[in-house]
């Protein structure tokens, strides 16, 4: 378990920098029971700041149980506390703290659609409110053995990795995030003046437009850790092919080595070295065959993949694109129950061109 001083520092970073908790703020925290040591610090810290905090825990194996046994009333039921958080609270914190993996029990497709429809109004509300920051949201990680095993690390190694990735080994984490923010702002300012971009490497050549869209500096205020610049492409402007090197987990199943061919914004061909059937099942979700995000990772403390998108998409020397839901704050228009990031290594011959000018080579910006 993390040392008490690390838990305190982590809590302070989340409350003060990411969520901007002030007197009167209402914070909704969602996680598993394994994150209790951090949540205790967050709850105490919220009260110290004259704020309100409410906590919702999920149980070990709860998703599998729901997928197998849920009936029609359960599928249509939405937790009133979640509804209130999406509609009235000021801040929302989701802490990833997975239990040991068990065999995933998928929900039958027709039941999954009922569930998606029940949640859709609140997902839309979430997207709108996080887009205009009326709901300050953050996603973070509490280190557990399950995540450590995914990353091929011991729990102690993984704890240190999480702390380093969040700049919590810095003497002043907030100053460190502010410094990264300044560097990224120069990049976003440049990208917001161009319209056509191209990602290339030995296995990829894909173009897209962000004309009329906004590039955003992700500097740790909505994800912790962060370290990326991102936008939403014009939906029908994406053309070409791209290979995503790094593995990711979807419904507890690993997908890796993804090749996509895209024409006028639509994924027309998709294969994976591992998890091909799952990949194509994912693409059948409405809106999942279009891209909702394009991005470039910049976090210098994340250098290797861990099968956890929260960290892997921030790796310096990578780009990523997300299938599914667009970011409304970027001007994106694609809607989907899915937002799945896929990551491409750019450290060996990768280039980014903006309006015909080379701005990035071998994992480094040239601007």
Domain range spanning residue 85? 4-142
CA distance 346 to 325: 24
Whether 85 is covered by a domain: the verdict is yes
Q: Are residues 72 and 14 in the same domain?
A: yes
**Omega into 225 within 30° of 0, i.e. cis?**
yes
CA distance 216 to 210: 12
Q: Are residues 335 and 242 in the same domain?
A: yes
Domains of the chain: total: 2
Give the CATH number of the domain where residue 116 resides: 3.40.1830.10
Q: Are residues 242 and 325 in the same domain?
A: yes
Q: Are residues 125 and 182 in the same domain?
A: no
Q: Are residues 194 and 281 in the same domain?
A: yes
CA distance 224 to 235: 28
Q: Are residues 187 and 98 in the same domain?
A: no
Cβ neighbors of 1 (< 8 A, separation 6 or more) are 37
- Structural domain ending residue among the three candidates 99, 127, 142: 142
Whether 165 is covered by a domain: the verdict is no
Q: Are residues 293 and 191 in the same domain?
A: yes
Q: Are residues 135 and 181 in the same domain?
A: no
Whether 155 is covered by a domain: the verdict is no
Model's pTM, two decimal places?
0.89
DSSP state of 17: I
Helix axes 109-131 and 80-88, enclosed angle (nearest 10): 30
Q: Are residues 187 and 132 in the same domain?
A: no
Facing residues of 351 across strands? 200, 361
CA distance 273 to 279: 10
Q: Compute how many other C-beta atoms are within 10 angstroms of the C-beta atom of residue 114.
A: 16
Q: Are residues 338 and 223 in the same domain?
A: yes
Whether 53 is covered by a domain: the verdict is yes
Q: Are residues 92 and 201 in the same domain?
A: no
Alpha-carbon separation of residue 9 from 14, 17, 171, 337, 343 (angstroms): 9, 11, 11, 34, 30
- Per-residue confidence of the chain (367 residues) as pLDDT tens digits? 899 999 999 999 999 999 999 999 999 999 999 999 999 999 999 999 999 999 999 999 999 999 999 999 999 999 999 999 999 999 999 999 999 877 788 899 899 999 999 999 999 999 899 988 999 999 999 999 999 999 999 999 999 999 999 999 999 999 999 999 999 999 999 999 999 999 999 999 999 999 999 999 999 999 999 999 999 999 999 999 999 999 999 988 899 999 999 999 999 999 999 999 999 999 999 999 999 999 999 999 999 899 999 999 999 999 999 999 999 899 999 999 899 999 999 999 999 999 999 999 999 999 9
Whether 118 is covered by a domain: the verdict is yes
Q: Are residues 87 and 181 in the same domain?
A: no
Whether 166 is covered by a domain: the verdict is no
Whether 153 is covered by a domain: the verdict is no
Report yes or no: 273 and 295 within 8 Å, Cβ to Cβ: no
- β strands within the chain, DSSP E: 26-32, 52-58, 91-96, 136-141, 196-201, 204-209, 216-218, 223-224, 228-231, 239-244, 248-250, 253-263, 266-274, 291-297, 318-324, 339-345, 351-354, 357-361, 364-365
Facing residues of 274 across strands? 256
Whether 54 is covered by a domain: the verdict is yes
């Amino acid at each position: 378990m993390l040392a008490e001083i690390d838990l305190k520092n982590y809590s302070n970073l989340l409350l003060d920098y990411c969520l901007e908790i002030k007197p009167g703020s209402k914070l909704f925290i969602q996680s598993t029971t394994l994150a209790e040591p951090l949540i205790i610090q967050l709850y105490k810290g919220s009260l110290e700041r004259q704020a309100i905090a409410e906590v919702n825990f999920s149980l070990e194996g709860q998703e599998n149980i729901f997928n197998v046994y849920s009936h029609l009333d359960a599928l249509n039921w939405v937790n009133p506390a979640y509804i209130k958080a999406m509609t009235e609270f000021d801040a929302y914190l989701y802490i990833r703290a997975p239990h040991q993996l068990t065999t995933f029990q998928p929900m039958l497709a027709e039941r999954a659609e009922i569930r998606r429809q029940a949640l859709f109004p609140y997902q839309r509300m979430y997207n709108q409110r996080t887009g205009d920051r009326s709901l300050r949201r953050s996603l973070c990680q509490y280190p557990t053995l399950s995540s450590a095993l995914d990353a091929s690390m011991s729990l102690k190694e993984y704890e240190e990795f999480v702390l380093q990735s969040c700049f919590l080994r810095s003497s002043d984490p907030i100053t460190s995030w502010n410094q990264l923010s300044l560097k990224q702002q120069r990049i976003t300012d440049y990208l917001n003046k161009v319209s056509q971009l191209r990602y290339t490497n030995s296995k990829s050549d894909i173009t897209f437009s962000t004309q009329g869209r906004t590039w955003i500096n992700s500097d740790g205020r909505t994800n912790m850790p962060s370290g990326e610049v991102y936008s939403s492409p014009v939906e029908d402007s994406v053309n070409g092919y791209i290979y995503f090197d790094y593995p990711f987990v979807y419904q507890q199943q690993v997908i890796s080595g993804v090749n996509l061919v895209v024409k006028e914004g639509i994924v027309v061909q998709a294969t994976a070295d591992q998890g091909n059937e799952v990949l194509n099942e994912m693409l059948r979700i409405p809106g999942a065959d279009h891209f909702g995000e394009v991005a470039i990772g910049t976090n210098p403390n994340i250098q290797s993949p861990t099968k956890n998108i929260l960290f892997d998409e921030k790796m310096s020397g990578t780009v990523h694109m997300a299938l599914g839901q667009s970011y409304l704050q970027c001007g994106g228009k694609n809607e989907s129950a899915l937002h799945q990031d896929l990551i491409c290594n750019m450290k060996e011959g990768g280039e980014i061109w903006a309006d015909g000018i080379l701005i990035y080579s071998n994992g480094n910006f040239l601007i």
